[in-house]
Amino acid sequence: MELSLATRTVGEHTVLEVGGEVDVYTAPRLRERLLELIDGGARHVVVDLGRVDFLDSTGLGVLVGALKRLRTAGGSFALVCDKEPLLKIFRITALDQVFPLHPTVDAAVGAEPTGASA
């Protein structure tokens, strides 16, 4: 399935809903969208991976890039994911210790209302 990207705002959080396959071909589009959001002033970004059915190292690299960028800007970055195959990918790469991972958007938004600036 092709990559799909949709953005919505929840309080002071920008939620990016990602669907489909995030791989070496589609990851540049995800990177572009995240950069647009951050350059456009978004400081608290939640990426919802609920509808992602494939994620590879290139996609993970893009997510880490966004995390670093927001950390430098004094913002926050979190992921929403409750699918076991994807969670296993985060565990195997030890990225579960790098990203805040939440089962739902509500949990992600509630967990860090002001992120690093709190």
Partner 1 sequence: MATVKLSFSPAPVHVRTARLVGVAVARRAGVREDLLDEVRLAIGEACTRAVALHRQYGLADPVLVEMSDAGSYAVRVVDRAPIEAGIGLAALPPDELANESLTDEALTTGVGFALLAGFVEDLQVRPVDEGVGTEVRMVWPVGR
Alpha carbon distances (Å) from 49 to 15, 79, 98: 10, 7, 16
Query: In the complex, what is the shortest distance from the CB of residue 64 to partner 1, in angstroms, rounded to a whole number?
Result: 6
For partner 1, how many residues bind (rule: CB under 8 A)? 24
Q: Do residues 56 and 30 touch, judged by C-beta distance below 8 A?
A: no
Q: Do residues 53 and 21 touch, judged by C-beta distance below 8 A?
A: yes
Per CB under 8 A, does 19 bind partner 1? no
The rounded distance, in Å, linking the Cα atoms of 21 and 93 is 19
Record the tokens describing residue 52, joined without a space.
Answer: 């992602």
Residues in the chain: 118
Query: In the complex, what is the shortest distance from the CB of residue 108 to partner 1, in angstroms, rounded to a whole number?
Result: 18
Report the residue number, 23 or 112, with the smaller CB distance to partner 1: 23
Tell me the β-bridge partners of 76. 44
Q: Which of 8, 36, 68, 113 binds partner 1 (CB under 8 A)?
A: 68
Query: In the complex, what is the shortest distance from the CB of residue 11 to partner 1, in angstroms, rounded to a whole number?
Result: 25
Binding site for partner 1 (CB under 8 A): 21, 23-25, 54, 56-58, 60-61, 64-65, 67-68, 71-72, 85, 89, 92-95, 97-98
